[in-house]
Amino acid sequence: MKITLVISSLAGGGAERVLTNMANYFSMHGHEISLLTFDDGRSPSYNITGLVKWNPLNISGVSRSIIEGIIKNLRHIYILRKAILNSSPDCVISFMFTTNIIVLMATRFLSCKVLISERNYPKYIRERRIIWIWLRKILYPLADHLVVQTDSIKEIFRSHNRSVQVIPNPVCIDPERIKDMPEVLLTTCNKIVAMGSLTTQKGFDILIDVFASLYMHYSDWNLIILGEGDLKSELKSRTRELGIEHAVVFAGWVGNPFSIMSRCDLFVLSSRYEGFPNALLEAMCCGLPVVSFDCPTGPRQIIQHGINGLLVPPEDKDKLKRAIQCLMEKKEMRECMGKNAKYVSKRYAPDKIMTKWEKLALGG
């Protein structure tokens, strides 16, 4: 079967990682895979196998006005349609909100099946994207299937498409990658680790404030933050204001986060909202106990409270502090939860998850 996958870029991010893994998995299971991205292809964050035909279209960019945006997007639709036709797909799979809309326009009246997927909690979209929100309501019904990651997101999109399917993210970590030497120098003290883009969504401002209040009494702990983003300077300044800059490591984007996470003691997800957090799954797969805000959506589906991690009310600094402190003080509890956490690798094994995608693509 010929499958064409479409996403804006292969920059570091959860959706990008999942789509890359999907491309590699399908290509190794006998499908002919084309991957179209809107970027220039200069700096992919994830590795693609040689079996996947990757075509970076170099059409991404920022528009300075609504008129310029309309003209650019019409051009994008034309270029994308031409690339899709050249790949002769039986099925097109698109990831991410605005990419889905452009794909639905580009595939209008083509004979191939079209699957679109929302990858985040939709209620936090900025108001200035009202035109895109309107287009989503108009165009999403044209897709053969709309894939989301949780039942609560399915309820939000129930009126957008006649076939809304729930497929969570897969997780699979090569044990050899865990054994690799970490890309950053790790201290011998106890370590909390967090991972994600340095944006408002991920709540690292909350985590830094909470860690600062804990560090006063637990100076043998450090905080390691993996990821890049627009708030990096602001977050670093905050650590200096709180006097903890020597105890917080901004490691940036790393190619192999698993070798770092597996050498830490505790993972914290401080997000204000998610779709289905890859970072949380990957930390648990590495055998880490986790503390997470019970934010929309994903953590509640992944974490069994008190068994493989702890859930706390969204954006509640005091309860986040108490949960982290509990695991800081109780090594046996950390070890027990970490052992239980590894079972997510069976619940969300690639074979289970990709089979669901394959059934939809083939005609399910």
Residue 18: which CATH number?
A: 3.40.50.2000
What's the rounded mean pLDDT across residues 322-340? 97
Q: For residue 236, give the H/E element and its range.
A: helix 232-242
DSSP 305: B
Phi then psi dihedrals of residue 139, to 5 deg: -95, -30
d(CA 207, CA 255): 23
Radius of gyration of the chain (CA): 21
If one compares 35 and 68, the residue with the highest pLDDT of the two is: 35
Together in a domain, 116 and 216: no
Order across the sheet with 32-37: list the strands: 53-56, 32-37, 2-7, 91-95, 113-117, 145-148, 164-166
Together in a domain, 110 and 157: yes
Q: What percent of the chain has pLDDT over 70?
A: 98
**For residue range 56-87, what is the model confidence (pLDDT) as tens digits?**
999 877 667 777 777 888 999 999 999 999 99
The pTM of the full predicted model, rounded to 2 decimals, is 0.91
pLDDT at residue number 237? 97
**For residue range 142-169, what is the model confidence (pLDDT) as tens digits?**
999 999 999 999 999 999 999 999 999 9
d(CA 6, CA 17): 13
Residue 126 — pLDDT band, cuts 50, 70, 90? low
- Give the residue among 81, 45, 113, 4 at the shortest CA–CA distance from 359: 113
Residue 304 pLDDT greater than 90, yes or no: yes
Together in a domain, 189 and 322: yes
Mean pLDDT estimate for the chain: 93
**For residue range 82-124, what is the model confidence (pLDDT) as tens digits?**
999 999 999 999 999 999 999 999 999 999 999 999 998 888 7
Together in a domain, 329 and 355: no
pLDDT at residue number 354? 95
Range of the domain at 318: 175-347
For residue 314, give every residue at least 6 positions away whose Cβ sits within 8 Å of its Cβ, in sequence order, or none. 272, 293, 294, 295, 296
Residue 46 pLDDT greater than 90, yes or no: no
What's the rounded mean pLDDT across residues 195-220? 96
For residue 162, give every residue at least 6 positions away whose Cβ sits within 8 Å of its Cβ, in sequence order, or none. 141
Together in a domain, 101 and 215: no
Together in a domain, 219 and 239: yes
For residue 340, give every residue at least 6 positions away whose Cβ sits within 8 Å of its Cβ, in sequence order, or none. 304, 307, 308
What's the rounded mean pLDDT across residues 270-295? 96
42 with 62: CB under 8 angstroms? Answer: no
Together in a domain, 24 and 142: yes
Of 25-39, 85-99, 122-136, 172-186, the range with the lowest mean pLDDT is 122-136
d(CA 77, CA 101): 10
Together in a domain, 295 and 317: yes
d(CA 190, CA 204): 19
pLDDT at residue number 271? 97
Residue 125 — pLDDT band, cuts 50, 70, 90? low
pLDDT at residue number 130? 83
Number of domains in the chain: 2
Together in a domain, 113 and 66: yes
